Amino acid sequence: MSFFEVFKQYFVAFKDAFVQQLANPAWDNPFYIIPTICLTTFILELTLPRKRDYAPLKRKGFWQDLFYVIFTDYLLLLFGFWAFSATIEYFFRNGLDGIGISSPVIYDIKTLPFIIQFLIIFILMDFMQWLGHFLLHRVNFLWKFHKIHHAQETLGFASTRHFHWAEFLVFKPLLFIVFLTLNLGANEFVAIYLWVGLTFTFFSHCNVKVNAKWFNYIFISPETHYWHHAKKVPQRYGVNFASTLTIWDHLFGYFYYPQDKGEPELGVEDQERMPRSFFGQFVYPFKSLFSREKERPLTRAEKRRMAKKK
Ligand SMILES: [Zn+2]
Ligand SMILES: [Zn+2]
């Protein structure tokens, strides 16, 4: 089958599943998991606000962040992004078959009790998320994409989805390695993993006042993730890369949790150069790959923003 034929089949299958899932709300349905978590974290922001100077709906960037949730979790599928990704996986597996590696399974995890399977998968997936996030900061050209997430000057629950779609091209292959080598069927743990993983990522961006203390040493929370977004980066490539468990930051020396420094200013050093519109952010990484962003003269709007900052 040609690339296009495989893509078409996946696209139709994904689209049908999407329509079918939208019509059937269920606890393990990702299209309902996300709105449920959004609503819960939104209520959390209303009841436990971190900054009293803005209500959740009035937060600068709130509506754009909400659009990012819709774009990332719904529209990308309809634009064929996931069908494209599945097609690449299909040909990759075929390629492995072609060179005689029909099954790259290192260990068949299905032979273990459910809870052990879940813990292993969860810890490995979480490490891959950590690694992907670390690479987005450490590798120069990947940082240009991840910078979109960091150019937010305020954070709220929906800010977690305010990132460039191309980041999936980093995370997807890393997670795919875990799926492939442990003989894990794609759907088996996805729902539970989504509930836990997404709850933590939405919660970590929440504009809430928590006093998490010991919790911060094991799990991510807004207290530590805010420092990940600090404009003045505490370490050269950043700190607190965790998406759920903070053990990886402890292990590799990136855990940062000052309890006496108040709140960091959020954003990136050259904030005035960051585009405000969704489309501007969509093309920014590609443009900056081919130009020396820092040497480009400031536009009028950017100069105004710079003046405002002073
Ligand atoms: Zn980051
Ligand atoms: Zn973040």
For residue 34, being part of any structural domain is answered with yes
Instruction: Render pLDDT for 84-108 as a digit per residue (tens, 0 to 9).
Output: 988 988 888 888 877 777 667 777 7
Smallest-distance ligand from the CA of 65: 2
d(CA 168, ligand 1 centre) in Å:
14
d(CA 263, ligand 1 centre) in Å:
17
* Domain range for 19: 3-269
d(CA 160, ligand 2 centre) in Å:
6
d(CA 225, ligand 1 centre) in Å:
9
d(CA 226, ligand 2 centre) in Å:
8
CA distance 124 to 175: 9
Smallest-distance ligand from the CA of 130: 1
d(CA 123, ligand 1 centre) in Å:
20
Share of the chain above pLDDT 70, in %: 95
Q: What DSSP assignment string belongs to 98-164?
A: HTT-S---S--GGGS-HHHHHHHHHHHHHHHHHHHHHHHHHSHHHHHHHHHHHT-SS--GGGGG-S-
For residue 162, being part of any structural domain is answered with yes
d(CA 6, ligand 1 centre) in Å:
34
Q: What DSSP assignment string belongs to 234-246?
A: SSTT-S---SSBS
d(CA 248, ligand 1 centre) in Å:
14
Q: How confident is residue 119, by pLDDT bands cut at 50, 70 and 90? A: confident
pLDDT at residue 145, as a whole number: 96
For residue 14, being part of any structural domain is answered with yes
pLDDT at residue 309, as a whole number: 64
**What amino acid is encoded at 283 in this protein?**
V
Smallest-distance ligand from the CA of 203: 2
Q: What angle do CA 238, 244, 246 make, to 5 degrees?
A: 55
State both tokens at 299. 């536009």
Query: What's the total number of domains in the chain?
Result: 1
pLDDT tops 60 at residue 209: yes
Q: Which residues make beta-bridge pairs with 183?
A: none
Smallest-distance ligand from the CA of 240: 1
For residue 245, being part of any structural domain is answered with yes
Task: Using alpha carbons, select from 10, 302, 8, 273 the residue that is nearest to residue 144.
Answer: 273
d(CA 83, ligand 1 centre) in Å:
27
Least confident window among 152-161, 176-185, 242-251, 258-267: 176-185
d(CA 162, ligand 1 centre) in Å:
11
State both tokens at 216. 């911060």
Least confident window among 49-58, 168-177, 225-234: 49-58
Rounded to 10 degrees, what is the CA torsion of 94, 100, 105, 108? 110
For residue 108, being part of any structural domain is answered with yes
d(CA 186, ligand 2 centre) in Å:
26
pLDDT (mean) for 17-22: 91
For residue 169, being part of any structural domain is answered with yes
pLDDT (mean) for 121-132: 93
pLDDT at residue 103, as a whole number: 67
Local structure of residue 31 (DSSP, 8 states)? H
d(CA 228, ligand 1 centre) in Å:
6
pLDDT tops 60 at residue 186: no
d(CA 91, ligand 2 centre) in Å:
33
CA distance 151 to 158: 14
Smallest-distance ligand from the CA of 167: 1
Least confident window among 112-121, 209-218, 254-263: 112-121
**3-23 and 81-98 are packed helices; what angle lies between their axes, rounded to 10 degrees?**
130
Smallest-distance ligand from the CA of 136: 1
pLDDT (mean) for 130-145: 96
Local structure of residue 298 (DSSP, 8 states)? P
3-state helix, strand and coil shares in percent for the chain, rounded to the nearest 5: 65, 0, 35
d(CA 126, ligand 1 centre) in Å:
15
pLDDT tops 70 at residue 120: yes
pLDDT at residue 235, as a whole number: 86
Task: Using alpha carbons, select from 126, 218, 138 the residue that is nearest to residue 178.
Answer: 126
pLDDT higher at 234 or 183: 234
d(CA 222, ligand 2 centre) in Å:
9
Instruction: Render pLDDT for 211-238 as a digit per residue (tens, 0 to 9).
Output: 888 999 999 999 999 999 999 988 888 9
For residue 228, being part of any structural domain is answered with yes
Smallest-distance ligand from the CA of 146: 1
pLDDT at residue 188, as a whole number: 60
Write down the H helix ranges in 24-105: 30-47, 62-70, 76-78, 81-98
For residue 306, being part of any structural domain is answered with no
Distance of CA 107 to the CA centre of its chain: 28
pTM to 2 decimal places: 0.89
d(CA 194, ligand 2 centre) in Å:
17
d(CA 229, ligand 2 centre) in Å:
6
pLDDT at residue 187, as a whole number: 58
